[in-house]
Amino acid sequence: MSQSASSEKTTLIIGGGLAGLSCAFELAEQGKSVIVLEAAPYVGGRTANWNERGMEVESGFHKFIGYYTLLPELLERAGIDLDEMLFWETSMEARHPEAEDSGEFGLDVIRAPLKTLLGALGNNSYLTPADKASLIPFFTAGFKDYLANPEKLDEIPLQQYAEDHHVTPQALERILEPLSSGIFFLPPDQYSSYAFFGLFAPGIPRLHKMRIGAFSGGMTDVMCQPLADRIEQLGGKVRTSTPVRHLIVEHNRISGVELENGERLLAENVVVATNIRRAQKLLTEHFSEVSWFKPFFELESMPHVTAQFQLPEPLLPQDRTTFGPGTQLGSFGEQSRTTFRDHAGRTSIILVDPDKLVDLPDEQVWKRTVDSLHDIGLDGVDQATDYRIIRGDENFYRLSPGNEKKRPKQVTPIPGLFLAGDYTKQPFLATMEGAVISGQRAARGILNG
């Protein structure tokens, strides 16, 4: 077993996703010695792309939200041009099997105010005026409770909260379902009301910045690898294909890590910035009896399943975010004009209720995907030339009622140990912005230590 003694002031960061990279960038920018250890052959974590058996895939159907603040600031400081990285969408679409027409909703109150207004007032064949009116007291009460009674709100499933506030069944299925399970997979009856309102509440003061950005390439290629490159230009190190086996704990303080190949790296600080399941495994080995960690060890993860496929022509006339309420489809979009421009047709789909899908064979998941696309009139899927089912059960914390209080803070009571990841406590929940906030808070804890 080899042992590498890094500088006594080195910080080791386990995980090269956005949380780990943002932490590393903050430290490297301050001249601190930092090494990122990523188990995969590429950086990005949950915001990554890679080649899966000959097909270029992404970790999920990801979008950049216009009201993010710290993520764009971080990227700009790293020299990444957002105008080159993103294609901005000004509208989104919802398709329901029983709706006469699809619903089209404008998103950009500054650049497309008329489309935004008409989307709210129109689409009456998709959602009646009475359905829309039933959402007003629901949202008013929800944002109020988000600020005044967050713990109580987190105990109530979204469907129950909607029913308690007399949201019509059609509004629940055609609007609230896309905005909940279309983004974070869970059906409304399993989805925390706090998590639902928490996704949108930070954007209210920045409503004028409400846009959705599609990436101009794979997220590793256009965002995470350039960030890793900048970290190395600042003097840090980013090591891929470097899985960590154990934390090294001596005298109740962290002193380094042991890699899967037996190499031991010593350091003053260690930031665990892995996915939730891996973080729990690393920490349980040493701290299973430490009361501070026990709520976190009880925080459940949830699976994710996406279907990604190529076609000889685009599935949809626009590359924009589309929802499929009433089907197995959460959110999806054509990407051949934006993220995957080397393909004539390319689509990624987040599938709803992954608990029921994650253990099924690829062929069965694909059949359900095709059937759901048929249900909303997208028969072009029959021309698909290749597909991949991308799945996992370690990347997301479960946004179900009662879990908010189990999320840990970034600074732990163990000397030298810090956490980063969007599952840690911060206001943006399971988002890219949340990952960046967590990494910056971990870095701040190190710098202030």
User: Looking at the structure, do residues 289 and 311 belong to the same domain, yes or no?
Assistant: no
Give the number of other Cβ atoms within 10 Å of residue 429's Cβ: 23
Domain stop point among 154, 189, 212? 212
> 70 lies in a domain?
no
User: Looking at the structure, do residues 96 and 194 belong to the same domain, yes or no?
Assistant: yes
User: Looking at the structure, do residues 138 and 165 belong to the same domain, yes or no?
Assistant: yes
> 73 lies in a domain?
no
User: Looking at the structure, do residues 206 and 100 belong to the same domain, yes or no?
Assistant: yes
User: Looking at the structure, do residues 113 and 204 belong to the same domain, yes or no?
Assistant: yes
Q: Give residue 112's pLDDT.
A: 46
- Find all residues with CB under 8 Å of 148, minimum gap 6, and list them: none
278-287 pLDDT, tens digit per residue, is 999 999 999 9
- Find all residues with CB under 8 Å of 342, minimum gap 6, and list them: 56
User: Looking at the structure, do residues 334 and 380 belong to the same domain, yes or no?
Assistant: yes
Q: CA-to-CA distance for 273 and 276, rounded, in angstroms? A: 9
CATH code at 334? 3.90.660.10
Question: Is the predicted pLDDT of residue 403 greater than 90, yes or no?
Answer: yes
Q: Give residue 2's pLDDT.
A: 52
Give the number of other Cβ atoms within 10 Å of residue 37's Cβ: 25
Domain limits at 315?
Answer: 301-397
Q: Which two tokens stand for residue 436?
A: 């960046």
User: Looking at the structure, do residues 273 and 238 belong to the same domain, yes or no?
Assistant: yes
Q: Give residue 48's pLDDT.
A: 97
Q: Which two tokens stand for residue 50?
A: 């890679």
Say what the alpha-carbon torsion angle 69, 70, 75, 77 is, to the nearest 10 degrees.
110
Q: Give residue 315's pLDDT.
A: 97
User: Looking at the structure, do residues 430 and 307 belong to the same domain, yes or no?
Assistant: no
> 266 lies in a domain?
yes
- Rg of the chain in Å (alpha carbons): 22
What is the number of domains present in the chain? 3
Question: Is the predicted pLDDT of residue 121 greater than 90, yes or no?
Answer: no
Q: Give residue 117's pLDDT.
A: 39
CATH code at 288? 3.50.50.60
266-322 pLDDT, tens digit per residue, is 999 999 999 999 999 999 999 999 999 999 999 999 999 999 999 999 999 999 999
> 81 lies in a domain?
no
> 65 lies in a domain?
no
Q: Residue 311 half-sphere exposure, CB side, CA atoms within 13 Å?
A: 20
Give the dihedral sign, CA 234/235/241/245.
Answer: negative
User: Would you say 393 and 277 are in contact if contact means Cβ atoms under 8 Å apart?
Assistant: yes
Residue 108's pLDDT band, with cuts at 50, 70 and 90, is low
User: Looking at the structure, do residues 256 and 153 belong to the same domain, yes or no?
Assistant: no
User: Looking at the structure, do residues 265 and 412 belong to the same domain, yes or no?
Assistant: yes
> 68 lies in a domain?
no
What's phi and psi for 327, nearest 5 deg?
-135, -175
User: Looking at the structure, do residues 184 and 276 belong to the same domain, yes or no?
Assistant: no
CA distances from 420 to 55, 133, 426, 435 (A): 31, 40, 10, 7
363-377 pLDDT, tens digit per residue, is 999 999 999 999 999
The percentage of residues in the chain with a pLDDT greater than 70, rounded to a whole number, is 93
Residue 103's pLDDT band, with cuts at 50, 70 and 90, is confident
- What mean pLDDT comes out for the span 50-57? 96
Is 390 buried (19+), middle (13-18) or exposed (0-12) by CB count in 10 A? Answer: middle
Choose among 67, 65, 113, 63: nearest CA to 206: 67
Domain stop point among 397, 421, 438? 397
> 248 lies in a domain?
yes
What's the whole-number average pLDDT of the chain?
Answer: 92
Choose among 224, 243, 232, 184: nearest CA to 47: 224
Q: Give residue 3's pLDDT.
A: 54
Q: Give residue 199's pLDDT.
A: 87
Q: Give residue 5's pLDDT.
A: 45
Choose among 341, 348, 364: nearest CA to 315: 348
Residue 227's pLDDT band, with cuts at 50, 70 and 90, is very high
Strands, E, within 157-263: which ranges? 212-215, 237-239, 244-250, 253-259
What's phi and psi for 319, nearest 5 deg?
-90, 95
User: Looking at the structure, do residues 227 and 319 belong to the same domain, yes or no?
Assistant: no
Domain stop point among 166, 185, 212? 212
175-190 pLDDT, tens digit per residue, is 899 888 888 888 999 9
Residue 118's pLDDT band, with cuts at 50, 70 and 90, is very low
User: Would you say 185 and 400 are in contact if contact means Cβ atoms under 8 Å apart?
Assistant: no
β partners of residue 304: 392
Q: CA-to-CA distance for 28 and 11, rounded, in angstroms? A: 10
pTM of the model: 0.93
> 71 lies in a domain?
no
